[in-house]
Amino acid sequence: MAGLILKYMERNNFHKEFVKTKSGPISLSLIPTVLIDSKDSQSYNLVQHFVIKMINERKPIGLEQGWDLMQKGITKMKNILEGLPEPKFSSEEFMMLYVTIYNMCTQKPPHDYSQQLYDRFRETFEEYITSTVLPSLREKHDEFMLKELARRWSNHKIMVRWLCRFFHYLDRYFIARRSLTPLNEVGLVCFHDQVYPLLVGGFQWKQTLNHRVEVQYVTGKVGEAVISMIDREREGEKIDRAIGKAALEISAEIGMGKVNHYEDDFKPSMLYNTTTYYSRKASEWISQDSFHDYLVKVDECLKREKNMASDYLHSSCVPAVLEIVERELLSVDATKLLEKDDTYWLTLLTNDKVEDLSRAYKLCSKIPAVVDHASSMFKQHVTSEGRKLVNQVEDASSTKKVFVRKVIELYDKYLSYVNDCFINHTLFRKALDEACEIICNMAIAGSSIAELLATFCDNTLKKGGSEKLSDDAIEDTLDKVVKLLAYNNDKDRFAEFYRKKLARRLLFDMSAHDEHETSLLKKLKQLYGGQFTSKMEGMFTDLTLAKEDQSCFEDYLSKNPSVSPGFDLRVNLLTRSFWPSYKSSDLNLPAEMVKCVEVFEDFYQPKTKQKKLKWIHSLGTCTIIGNFEPKRVELTMTTNHASVLLLFNASDRLSYQEIKTQLNLPDDDVVILLHSLSCAKYKILLKEPNTKTISRTDYFKFNSEFTSKMRKIKIPITPDDEKKKVIEDVDQDRQYTIEASIVRIMKYRKVHGYRQLVLECVEQMKRIFKPDQEAIKKRIEDLITREFLERDNEDPNRLWYLP
């Protein structure tokens, strides 16, 4: 005898031991503790002795005799599962059943009943299911049926496990040799074949009144019960989701681990029911609720369905259910939604309802018509907010200083809406870009956005500017300015305004951080090319070279002390093409300053005889000491201002005409100089009469009583009205740029259509400015007149390039 070996020995913590019998060595195992009565006090040795005695003294057992013995054990097991009063299996009972199967399978033919036992094993389950399980399931409904299913399935698995232990020898040897279905699987298949058809749906043949045969799908009881529970929960009733989840899991388990039940029965029924339910709800809600309330309900439905589906439905059902809810509640009635949507988006944007915007977009993102409408409303709202800022500037000119900051804040706000609320959807990004382009090309209280952006940069980068920010904040602000500039059509005007203000910061040492200055130039160069920033970069190069020239000049003075002017002199040599054009004048310098000019020219001219120096005194600065009676004060001012004050070293009182004559300046310049010295914050000169305006009959004298809390003061520079000059210069440069573009295109193409040439020229220049097509046509006519181009003799709309 090969021996008795329990396959599940190690898994159930069996104690294995070998004994010798008359039939040969036998491997015995202790019975699992769950099968032995806890009150049974027999020792392992007694059980061992009992089994050996049964095997040694066995007699041939007939099929019916042996099966009657097994039937008693099976009946006891059924009673235990049904909850009837039965004692637990003792160790002797279990071993008696086990040895009975062993003997019936190891008897010599014709007493080997292995095949008969295998068949009766299956018949036992079929009979039990038919007589007990199916009637109990049929008589119950809804949750009660689902609970009964869970109980019956649990009992069936216990019964399969026990009977497999009783019939283990059959499973271990006979089935393995014949390659038959294992006993455990036989028990589960029986439940599947007999119970599963009741639980799931199927196709039924139905004959109609016209004697036509139709195929109708009928939902299974489990599907009906779960769907009924879902409908009740949708209506607000509290249900136990665990029951439905367990029932569906059991159905899948009964289906031998497959999801056919979901795909073939429950899923189509669930989807059909969901479609019907939400189609009805959509019709009700859309007729009685506002757009906002409707979307709130849709959002709640989606959250509930997702929660329900993920809680007790198979994962394959979740996306399909949510898709149906979205389709029935949103897509199907999109036209009606748009009718309710007329002002909804504007209301949310106006009231900054960020959460509602996010929900509305999330729900409507798959409806193209609604998304188009929402993006259009978004553009309209952003443009309206920009117009409000422009109107505020026009109503109060003082707000012009903070206009760009408010536009940046506006851009940041709605960019966050695009990224967070609208998930960076391309339509909303495009709407924001178009709205910003409209805002950034509006005329603002007589100024352009290009000018205001340049002024804003000046206030951010100069010492003592109104924009007092940290280094990181300055860099972030400059990034925002560059972004806004991208929307502006007059970038060349910005460049010219910015160049003038940059020149003032550099020449008067008003720049707070050179790093930020160069950083902004790098950003502009990266976007608009080297030509856009070449002049500004040249200004920085000039100042670097000026420092080297100054060092050489100081060495020159140290080697020639006799030529020293007697005080510090610093000269910045500037390249004319890099810097803005400045008005020059024949200022009569004081003797001290004349000597400074002569000394530097003697130093510089021998080195570069081909270059001629032109002094721009209005850009120079001087520091002089004012000997006032209260105290001495150090005054920093322009060269022109210093020239005026030094006149009073020789005279106590001078008239307007005398000052003008001695300085040799035009009236406009003299008025500006005298006004800043006698009518502004620091009254270094006293004016007679004491009025706020300068006239040609006024007299001036040195204010010896002047005092200040500070020992060093700076006379403010009266800024020139540069706007008109910048616009004129830019317009002139645009003519040259348009002509160059036309010639470049024609030189390449040789022959080109008139209309096509205009459009191609616009395309080439739109990165820097948006040219007027009439201006382009005028330049074309001018080039024809100057014989750069020629009209075709046969087709006047065709142009030829003349080399």
Would you put residue 560 in left (φ > 0), alpha (ψ -120 to 50) or beta?
Answer: beta
**For range 46-59, the mean pLDDT:** 53
Read off the pLDDT of residues 381-399 as tens digits, 9 standing for 90 and up: 999 999 999 888 876 655 6
User: How far is the C-alpha of 8 from the C-alpha of 4, rounded, in Å?
Assistant: 12
> What DSSP state is assigned to residue 399?
G
Handedness of CA 562, 565, 569, 572 (dihedral sign): negative
Lookup result for tokens 């496990």: 161
User: How far is the C-alpha of 21 from the C-alpha of 9, rounded, in Å?
Assistant: 21
Task: Give pLDDT, residue 40.
Answer: 43
**For range 134-162, the mean pLDDT:** 86
State yes or no: pLDDT of 743 exceeds 80: yes
Task: Give pLDDT, residue 24.
Answer: 38
**Top mean-pLDDT range of 63-67, 128-132, 275-279, 431-435:** 431-435
Task: Give pLDDT, residue 314.
Answer: 66
State yes or no: pLDDT of 370 exceeds 90: no
Task: Give pLDDT, residue 466.
Answer: 67
533-to-520, 723, 770 alpha-carbon distances in Å? 10, 20, 19
State yes or no: pLDDT of 297 exceeds 90: no
Lowest mean per-residue pLDDT among 27-31, 353-357, 705-709 = 27-31
Read off the pLDDT of residues 312-323 as tens digits, 9 standing for 90 and up: 666 767 788 888
State yes or no: pLDDT of 206 exceeds 50: no
Q: If we measure between CA atoms, which residue out of 202, 203, 251, 206 comes closest to residue 225?
A: 251
Task: Give pLDDT, residue 320.
Answer: 81
Confidence of residue 415 (pLDDT cuts 50, 70, 90): very high
Q: Which helix (H) or strand (E) holds 182?
A: none
User: What is the DSSP code string of 559-589?
Assistant: H-GGG--SS--------TTTSPP--------
Mean pLDDT of all residues belonging to the chain: 81
Task: Give pLDDT, residue 340.
Answer: 66
**For range 467-494, the mean pLDDT:** 89
The residue among 400 and 280 whose pLDDT is bigger is 280
User: How far is the C-alpha of 357 from the C-alpha of 346, rounded, in Å?
Assistant: 10
**Top mean-pLDDT range of 324-328, 411-415, 585-589:** 411-415
Residue count of the chain: 803
Read off the pLDDT of residues 684-740 as tens digits, 9 standing for 90 and up: 899 898 888 888 889 999 988 888 888 888 888 766 667 788 888 888 888 888 999
Peptide bond into 803 cis (omega under 30): no
Task: Give pLDDT, residue 582.
Answer: 80
- Note whether 95 and 47 are within 8 A (CB): yes
Peptide bond into 197 cis (omega under 30): no
Task: Give pLDDT, residue 55.
Answer: 52
User: How far is the C-alpha of 74 from the C-alpha of 546, rounded, in Å?
Assistant: 110
**For range 297-320, the mean pLDDT:** 77
User: How far is the C-alpha of 89 from the C-alpha of 759, rounded, in Å?
Assistant: 99
Task: Give pLDDT, residue 326.
Answer: 81
Task: Give pLDDT, residue 262.
Answer: 52
Confidence of residue 218 (pLDDT cuts 50, 70, 90): very low
Task: Give pLDDT, residue 202.
Answer: 46
State yes or no: pLDDT of 256 exceeds 50: yes
Task: Give pLDDT, residue 612.
Answer: 80
Confidence of residue 488 (pLDDT cuts 50, 70, 90): very high
Integer distance in angstroms from the first to the last C-alpha of the chain?
A: 114
How many CB atoms lie under 10 A from the CB of residue 766? 12
> What DSSP state is assigned to residue 87?
P
Task: Give pLDDT, residue 480.
Answer: 93
Mapping DSSP to helix (H, G, I), strand (E, B) and coil, where does residue 194 land? helix
Handedness of CA 701, 704, 710, 712 (dihedral sign): positive
Task: Give pLDDT, residue 378.
Answer: 94
Mapping DSSP to helix (H, G, I), strand (E, B) and coil, where does residue 205 land? strand
State yes or no: pLDDT of 107 exceeds 90: no
Burial class (CB in 10 A: 0-12, 13-18, 19+), 470: exposed
* Ordered structural domains, the chain, with CATH: 16-192 (1.20.1310.10), 213-340 (1.20.1310.10), 343-445 (1.20.1310.10), 448-528 (1.20.1310.10), 620-714 (3.30.230.130), 723-801 (1.10.10.10)
Peptide bond into 771 cis (omega under 30): no
Task: Give pLDDT, residue 793.
Answer: 87
Strands 632-638 and 712-714: parallel
Read off the pLDDT of residues 612-623 as tens digits, 9 standing for 90 and up: 888 888 888 888
The residue among 716 and 774 whose pLDDT is bigger is 774
The residue among 718 and 215 whose pLDDT is bigger is 718
State yes or no: pLDDT of 33 exceeds 50: no
User: How far is the C-alpha of 639 from the C-alpha of 584, rounded, in Å?
Assistant: 13
State yes or no: pLDDT of 28 exceeds 60: no
